[in-house]
Amino acid sequence: LCSQEEQAAKLKAEKIRVALEKIKEAQVKKLVIRVHKADDSSKTMMVDERQTVRQVLDNLMDKSHCGYSSDWSLVETISELQMGTERIFEDHENLVENLLNWTRDSQNKLIFMERIEKYALFKNPQNYLLGKKETAEMADRNKEVLLEECFGGSSVTVPEIEGVLWLKDDGKKSWKKRYFLLRASGIYYVPKGKAKVSRDLVCFLQLDHVNVYYGQDYRNKYKAPTDYCLVLKHPQIQKKSQYIKYLCCDDVRTLHQWVNGIRIAKYGKQLYMNYQEAMKRTESTYDWTSLSSSSIKSGSSSSSIPGYGQLKPAPCGPSIPQFSPPPPPLKIHQIQHVTQAASPTPPPPPTPVPLPPQAPPKPLVTVPPPTSTKSGSPVVTQAAPPTSAPPIPPAKKQPPFPVSHVPPSPPAPPGPVPPPTLPKQQSFYFPPPPPESSLSDSDFPPPPPEIELPLPPIEIPAVFSGSSTSPKVAVVNPQPQ
- Residue 220 pLDDT > 70, yes or no? yes
Q: In the predicted model, what is the mean pLDDT of residues 454-471?
A: 47
Question: pLDDT by residue (tens digit) across 438-456?
Answer: 444 445 555 555 545 555 5
- At residue 372 the predicted structure's pLDDT band, cuts being 50, 70 and 90, is very low
Contacts of 30 (CB under 8 A, 6+ apart): 46, 47, 48, 49, 96
pLDDT at 81: 66
| CB atoms inside a 10 Å sphere around CB 73 | 22
Q: Are 329 and 402 in contact, with CB atoms under 8 Å apart?
A: no
Half-sphere exposure at residue 165, Cβ-oriented, CA atoms within 13 angstroms: 30
Check pLDDT > 50 for residue 344: no
Residue 419 confidence (pLDDT) above 80: no
Q: Do 466 and 360 touch, CB atoms closer than 8 A? A: no
- 433: pLDDT strictly greater than 60: no
Average pLDDT rounded to a whole number, residues 458-468: 45
What pLDDT is recorded for position 445?
Answer: 56
Short-list 374, 433, 368, CA closest to 399: 368
Instruction: Report pLDDT for 342.
Output: 43
Residues of the chain with CATH 2.30.29.30: 119-280
pLDDT of residue 135: 63
Long-range Cβ pairs for the range 183-191 (8 Å, 24+): 183/158, 183/265, 184/156, 184/158, 184/265, 186/265, 187/232, 187/262
Task: Tell me where in the chain the CATH 3.10.20.90 domain(s) lie.
Answer: 11-116
User: Which residue, among 383, 382, 429, 438, has the nearest Cα to 407 in the 3D structure?
Assistant: 438
CATH of 119-280, one of 2.30.29.30, 2.40.128.720, 3.40.50.720, 3.30.930.10: 2.30.29.30
* pLDDT at site 214: 94
Q: If pLDDT is split at 50, 70 and 90, which confidence band does 315 have?
A: very low
pLDDT beyond 80 at 274? yes
Instruction: Grade residue 53 by pLDDT with cuts at 50, 70 and 90.
Output: very high
Average of per-residue pLDDT across 169-185: 88
What's the pLDDT at 253? 92
Domain 11-116 fold is: Ubiquitin-like (UB roll) (3.10.20)
Q: pLDDT tens-digit profile of 117-160?
A: 999 999 999 888 887 666 667 888 888 999 998 898 888 889 98
Integer-rounded Cα radius of gyration of the chain: 50
On the question of pLDDT at 434 being above 50, the answer is: yes
pLDDT score, position 378 = 39
Give me the half-sphere count of Cα atoms (radius 13 Å) on the Cβ side of residue 113: 18
